[in-house]
């Protein structure tokens, strides 16, 4: 084992390298399996060397979450609906790459990428879309609840949902055949999914369309007025 000083031919240990290695380990085995000892072994240093770069596992997680936020795209040169759609899809893809981050994105102390991302989303809602502040907050919370909730369900659902539905139907039938008749609509789900096929990932766009359509409707129904934003210059009082 080496300390944080660089061995000949080896890159010197730094915070960015520690965070990248931690994220890689968590991608492989989950965050709960990540320990400072395992991380030190991956980096080829003694565990104490890590504490020169992160104070504890909480700070380590904050930095790892910041890496995930840095991967999320939030375009600035498109209309607000396109920007929010791109951001939602990009966030979902980032969480698919880093499933350990599901349920942890809004915890801890935010880092620079985290802060920049949240600021960009609020700027899109307030400046580009023109939502009043309360509506922008509602929209942001709705979008995040949908994205994070979908990611959690996607993480826990079976990969082949029609096959899993058929397995569960058989398990119920084996336990008590007469019970199948008590759930005709669930039986229909099993039969129709087997016929039509089903990919849960496709449901993301369907739900996202409903949310964006709803936000557009709210925006159109709101009274037409200029919304002051943090970037709006203060009005000068007229001279008397």
For residue range 5-46, list pLDDT tens digits in order: 555 556 789 999 999 999 999 999 999 999 999 999 999 999
- From residue 124, alpha-carbon distances to 7, 78, 118, 137, 221 in Å are 47, 10, 10, 12, 19
The pair of three-digit structure tokens given for residue 168, joined into one six-digit string: 């569960």
- CATH code, domain carrying 221: 1.10.357.10
Distance CA 4, CA 18 (A): 11
* Residue 1: pLDDT band with limits 50, 70, 90: very low
Q: Are 159 and 87 part of one and the same domain? A: yes
Q: How many CB atoms lie within 10 A of CB 117?
A: 23
- Mean pLDDT, the chain, integer: 88
Average pLDDT (200-223) is 90
For 110-148, write each residue's pLDDT tens digit. Answer: 999 999 999 999 999 999 999 999 999 999 999 999 999
> Is 97 found in the same domain as 50?
no
126 and 39 in one domain? no
Name the domain count of the chain. 2
Residue with tokens 């979908």: 150
Same domain for 108 and 47? no
Q: Is residue 239 part of a domain?
A: no
Categorize the per-residue pLDDT at 230 as very low, low, confident or very high, splitting at 50, 70 and 90: confident
117 and 218 share one domain: yes
pLDDT tier, 223 (very low <50, low <70, confident <90, very high otherwise): low
Residue 232: the pLDDT is: 66
Summarize the confidence of residues 152-171 as an average pLDDT. Answer: 79
Per-residue pLDDT tens over the stretch 72-120: 999 999 999 999 999 999 999 999 999 999 999 999 999 999 999 999 9
Per-residue confidence (pLDDT) for residue 102, from 0 to 100: 97
Question: Do 90 and 46 share a domain, yes or no?
Answer: no
**One domain, residues 34 and 89:** no
Which residue reads 């375009």 in tokens?
75
What pLDDT sits at residue 190? 84
3-state SS assignment for residue 230:
coil
Domain assignment present for 217: yes
43 and 151 share one domain: no
Classify residue 237: in a domain, yes or no: no
Specify whether 106 is located in the same domain as 23: no
Segment holding 216, helix H or strand E: helix 203-221
CA angle at residue 111 from 107 to 114, to 5 degrees? 75
Look up the domain containing 159 and give its range: 69-226
158 and 211 co-located in one domain: yes
Same domain for 120 and 80: yes
Residues 49, 90 within the same domain: no
160, HSE (Cβ side, Cα atoms, 13 Å): 6
Alpha helices by DSSP H, listed for 30-72, are 36-43, 47-50, 57-71
């Amino acid at each position: 084992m080496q300390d944080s000083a660089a061995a000949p031919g080896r890159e010197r240990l730094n915070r960015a390298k520690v965070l990248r290695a931690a994220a890689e380990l968590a991608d492989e085995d989950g965050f709960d399996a990540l320990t400072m000892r395992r991380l030190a072994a991956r980096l080829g240093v003694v565990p104490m060397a890590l504490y020169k770069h992160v104070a504890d596992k909480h700070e380590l997680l904050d930095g790892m979450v910041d890496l995930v936020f840095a991967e999320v795209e939030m375009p600035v040169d498109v209309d607000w609906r396109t920007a929010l759609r791109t951001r939602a899809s990009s966030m979902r893809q980032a969480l698919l790459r880093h499933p350990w981050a599901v349920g942890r994105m809004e915890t801890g102390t935010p880092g620079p990428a985290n802060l920049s991302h949240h600021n960009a989303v609020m700027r899109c809602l307030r400046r580009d879309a023109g939502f009043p502040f309360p509506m922008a907050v509602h929209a942001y919370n709705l979008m995040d609840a949908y994205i994070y909730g979908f990611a959690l369900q996607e993480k826990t659902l079976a990969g082949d949902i029609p096959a899993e539905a058929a397995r569960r139907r058989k398990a119920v039938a084996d336990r008590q055949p007469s019970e199948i008749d008590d759930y005709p609509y669930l039986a229909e789900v099993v039969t129709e999914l087997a016929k039509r096929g089903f990919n849960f990932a496709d449901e993301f766009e369907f739900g996202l369309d409903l949310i964006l359509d709803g936000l557009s409707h709210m925006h159109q129904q709101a009274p037409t007025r200029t919304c002051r934003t943090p970037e709006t210059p203060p009005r000068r009082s007229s001279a008397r």
